[in-house]
Homo-oligomer: A and B are copies of this chain.
Amino acid sequence: MSAFDELFAFQRQTEALSSVSERLGWDQETVMPRGATEQRAEEMAAMESVLHERRTDPRIGEWLDQAVPEDAEDARILELIARDHQRATRVPARLATELARQTSLAQGIWAEARAKDAPADFLPVLNDILMLKREEAAALADGGDLYDALLDDYEPGATQAQIAALFDAMRPRLVALRENVLGAEFQPAPLSGHFPQETQLRLARACATAYGYDWTRGRMDLAVHPFSSGRWQDSRITTRVVETDPFNCIYSTIHEVGHSSYELGIDSDYAFTPLGRGVSMGAHESQSRIYENQIGRGRAFTGWLYRRMADAFGGLSVADADAFYATANRVTPGYIRTEADEVQYNLHVMLRFDLERDLIAGRLDTDDLIEAWNARFLKDFGIAVDRPANGVLQDVHWAVGLFGYFPTYALGNVYAGCLNAALREAVPDLDRFLEQGDATPAVEWLRENMQRHGGLYPPRKLIEQATGAPISELPLLDYLDDKFATIYRF
């Protein structure tokens, strides 16, 4: 066997084990008995230890030195393996194992603390995780910027300086739009009524099907914080149900369908290789966001959804499809990022981006986090956080060690803006299909121009190739201005 073949076979098994580990995570958040938390932490730690040993295996260095790629795909595989190997060798095994163990335990503690609205139960654990993450960042950064080192895990090549500049460019127009919208005379009514769980889940399934979600390679379950999980032949979505607000379930579902379909849309030849997964979290979020917002909350698709929902629930509290469209895009003051509308969502992200940069840099202690969060929230959103579950406890990310992840949500929105502009030009009659509840022409364009490539191109290059234009925040901001000026009639 050539060095390339040996490395390839070894990597194949590593990919399979990493997929197993991800499946365990899914199990923990959907079906695991609640008494199994400690056991699962030990299992995750054992998997992490095996994976770490493989990623740092000295043979990888030798194989990489000798391997001769035959084409661009092979070359990119080697590049991605080398990158992963370098990052893994920089993190000591003890630290990697400890992080896996602590974050697995912390997840349960976070969920309970959130349910009981008891941040004191969680913040000491978060502090332990923060210390470990700073240690990890220092090991990865190798003298460079700590936050950039973490960010690189989720958005390879991005830097906090670059993102801060992008956010600075976006913020004034978003703030202005928010003020125009909240100050507008016309304000859409919310949906009122009781929307039974089973009916919501049936509708959510119908929406997933409208986007061509492949049920033979996926499934849908309930989770506290919806997520998608898995790749290749097995990518699952989760959702949640609030019986007073059917949009929560429906748009969570469509969002996760976007993530999951990206994985399922990757060229099947790339399975069990580093090309066989979405290339970055920003790229991933671009899919979930364009599925959810530019497509799912557009006038055309909501026209279909209005008829389906009115049928399913036996009538709705809004007068017609236009009113429904406004309601589905209603902008109101709110605490929760995952429930935020398109106008305010990126402001939620910016808050977290700044706080976590401060935490990682050591400029902010977890002891002061609640105060810092609440002060910033008041400043950015003009309302005071009423309880920690609506503030610092709302997201699972930090509990599971995801620092540097949040900004990729906003990057995803920017990418989605770019993709949507290109998609609309390429498929001018898209709305005709969306009006009939068929989003597959959009999905096919995205699969062909982006999803199928998996990890083949770096994120910015991937998006720029797909859209034929440089990345810019303008398509997103223009889209938002147009859409909300129409809905809010200003």
Residues of A in contact with B (beta carbons under 8 Å apart): 12-13, 16-17, 19-20, 23-24, 27, 31-40, 42-43, 45-47, 49-50, 214-219, 221, 232-234, 236, 271-272
- What are the 3 closest A-B residue pairs judged by CB atoms, nearest first? A36-B234, A16-B46, A35-B216
Bound form: Cα–Cα A45–B20 in Å: 11
A215 partner, pick from B17, B33, B45, B214, beta carbons under 8 A: B33
- Pairwise interchain contact A47-B17, C-beta atoms closer than 8 A: yes
Q: Given known contacts A20-B46, A47-B17, is B216 in contact with A33 (CB within 8 Å)?
A: yes
Knowing A27-B23, A42-B272 are in contact, say whether A35-B217 is a contact too (CB < 8 A).
Answer: yes
**B contact residues around A36 at 8 Å (CB):** 217, 232-234
Residues of B within 8 A of A35 (CB): 214, 216-217, 233-234
Known: A33-B218, A50-B50. A234 touches B16 (CB 8 A): no
Further pairs besides A33-B234, A39-B232: 9, Cβ < 8 Å: A16-B42, A17-B47, A33-B217, A33-B218, A33-B233, A35-B234, A36-B232, A38-B233, A40-B234
Residues from chain B with a CB closer than 8 A to the CB of A32 are 234
Contact for A39 among B38, B234, B236, CB less than 8 A = B234
In the complex, A216→B236 CA distance in Å?
Answer: 24
Of B34, B43, B45, B219, which is within 8 A of A33 by CB?
A: B219
Answer whether A47 and B33 are a contact pair too, CB < 8 Å, given A39-B232, A232-B39, A272-B42: no
The answer for the CA separation of A272 and B42 in the assembled complex, in Å, is: 9
A47 touches B20 (CB 8 A): yes
Asked whether, in the complex, the Cβ of B19 is within 8 Å of the Cβ of A43, the reply is yes
B17, B33, B43: the one contacting A16 at CB < 8 Å is: B43
Instruction: Give Cα distance in the complex from A38 to B272, angstroms.
Output: 12
